[in-house]
Structure 1
Amino acid sequence: MASLPDVPYVYQFRLIIIGDSTVGKSSLLRQFTEGKYLEFSDPTVGVDFHAKIVKVDGDSPVKLQLWDTAGQERFRAITRSYYRNAVGGLLVYDITNKQSFENLTSWLSDASQSAEPHKLVFILVGHKADQDKNREVTKQEAMAFAADHDMNYIETSAKAMINIDQAFVLLAENIYNKVQTGAIKIQDGWDGVKRGTTKRGHRNNGVYEGGPRFIPSAGQKKGCCD
């Protein structure tokens, strides 16, 4: 991974990306960090690391440390070791694979138990949104799962470049707001959130206040679940 330029940032958030193998976690992350899409990629072995700086709260730069985890069961023990020092992440499933959606409960439970005493902030990501004609998981099912677990929901596609930046920025904004309100505290010996190299920027009006919501894909009309 190429090193980041020396850009000041307010906070550093350590994030994980979890979900079954083949749901497209690595493709999603590579499109976000490198602007590249590979039709075929080898499964992640253990974990892979990336980083990128995004703007939240209008103009506050935040550095995201992104840990791409393996989806295969045999790597679960390795993946668990990364939960404790994370502040949150993307919970990813494939909208054309119902089993990957049904397995989310297991992934979320595993992450929550391994992260204790910290509570991870997740958003639910339905990937491969460009394959809507092959959909096996409805938006209503996904929204219900997100509401039950107090997280946001967004659909993405690395191939069609749908909601890639939006997914990561949405998660970063949720965490940033919790840090600002004191719901998430910076602690010595914990890498989930660290202070950055510059002072906190000015807070703007219209900061998004948490709670489940659905982010429509490009061209979609807003509806009941916006």
Structure 2
Amino acid sequence: MAQEAMSGTSPEGIHPTYIYKVVLLGNTSVGKSSLAYRYVKNYFKESLPTVGCSFFTQTLNLEGGTVKFEIWDTAGQEKYYSVCHLYYRGAQAVLLVYDITNKETLNRAKFWLTDLEKEFLPHEIVIALVGNKMDLAAEREVATEEGEEFARTKDLLFMETSAKSNHGVNDIFMAIAQELLQREQEKASAPFPCGRSTVNLGESRTRTGCCQL
């Protein structure tokens, strides 16, 4: 079972501070490291395959509290598969990243989801399916609708991104932060456990759930 997010008080003493472990999973060369660099450092870096795991932090000051992400960028090579579960243990959120120009990487993301379903209880963590490399849309092998449909059937967040052009990168991390904060608010206000809400990252962003006001 995942550990609870650590919470405290922000320096201003007004909003709580939440620390969340966020893990990037996916096949090698789908752009996990580039996404992390773009989000944290706001520049594009084409990097060699990650060895083991890289670590980043990012802090967001939002209306509902301060969110500190501890981002773990895992290696995608097959030889590291046996140790990757050690990195996502205790996570509060996971990005399942695939390359829209490579259909096999979506299949691999589905494989990772199966592993996560064995490790975590339903709705215990926030999981986002991320189709990266939108800048190569002319070469795509995975239609947007295919990713959307799979995410919908599994109740995942979904967005297509480009680490190179910065398309959607901040948006998907923001959606994760907002979902995590909403869950904190629901846990604090609801006398009984509540089913998770859903997030639609399309043009008409809607949110439904049994605790929705």
What band does the TM-score fall into relative to the shorter chain?
A: 0.7 to 0.9
Shift of 1:147: 0.6
Take 2:104 and 2:55, find their aligned partners in 1: how far apart are those partners?
Answer: 27
1:24 paired residue number: 31
Q: TM-score, normalised by structure 1?
A: 0.75
Secondary structure, counterpart of 2:76 in structure 1: coil
1:190 paired residue number: none
2:168 paired residue number: 163
* Cα distance per residue 1:175-208 (max 9 Å; x no partner): 111122119xxxxxxxxxxxxxxxxxxxxxxxxx
Take 1:117 and 1:93, find their aligned partners in 2: how far apart are those partners?
Answer: 22
Secondary structure, counterpart of 2:137 in structure 1: helix
2:90 paired residue number: 85
8 Å Cα contact 1:88/1:121 also seen in 2:
yes
Q: Give ranges in structure 1 of 5+ residues lacking alignment.
A: 1-6, 184-208, 216-221
Shift of 1:168: 0.7
Secondary structure, counterpart of 2:95 in structure 1: strand
Secondary structure, counterpart of 1:171 in structure 2: helix
Take 1:131 and 1:177, find their aligned partners in 2: how far apart are those partners?
Answer: 34
Is 2:142 aligned against 1:137?
yes
Q: Higher strand proportion, which one?
A: 2
Q: Give ranges in structure 2 of 5+ residues lacking alignment.
A: 1-9, 189-195, 207-213
Give the aligned length. 187
**Residue correspondence of structure 1 range 1-226 to structure 2 within 5 A:** 8=11, 10-38=17-45, 40-56=46-62, 58=63, 60-115=65-120, 119-182=124-187, 210-215=197-202, 222=203
- RMSD of aligned residue pairs (Cα, Å): 2.5
* Cα distance per residue 1:20-52 (max 9 Å; x no partner): 1100000000011111212x3111111111000
Secondary structure, counterpart of 2:174 in structure 1: helix
* Cα distance per residue 1:125-166 (max 9 Å; x no partner): 110111111111111111111011101211111111111111
| Structure with bigger RCO (C-alpha 8 Å, 6+ apart) | 1
Q: TM-score, normalised by structure 2?
A: 0.80
Once the two structures are aligned, what percentage of the paired residues are identical? Answer: 35
2:7 paired residue number: none
Shift of 1:117: 8.9
Take 2:109 and 2:121, find their aligned partners in 1: how far apart are those partners?
Answer: 19
Take 1:117 and 1:171, find their aligned partners in 2: how far apart are those partners?
Answer: 17
Secondary structure, counterpart of 1:63 in structure 2: strand
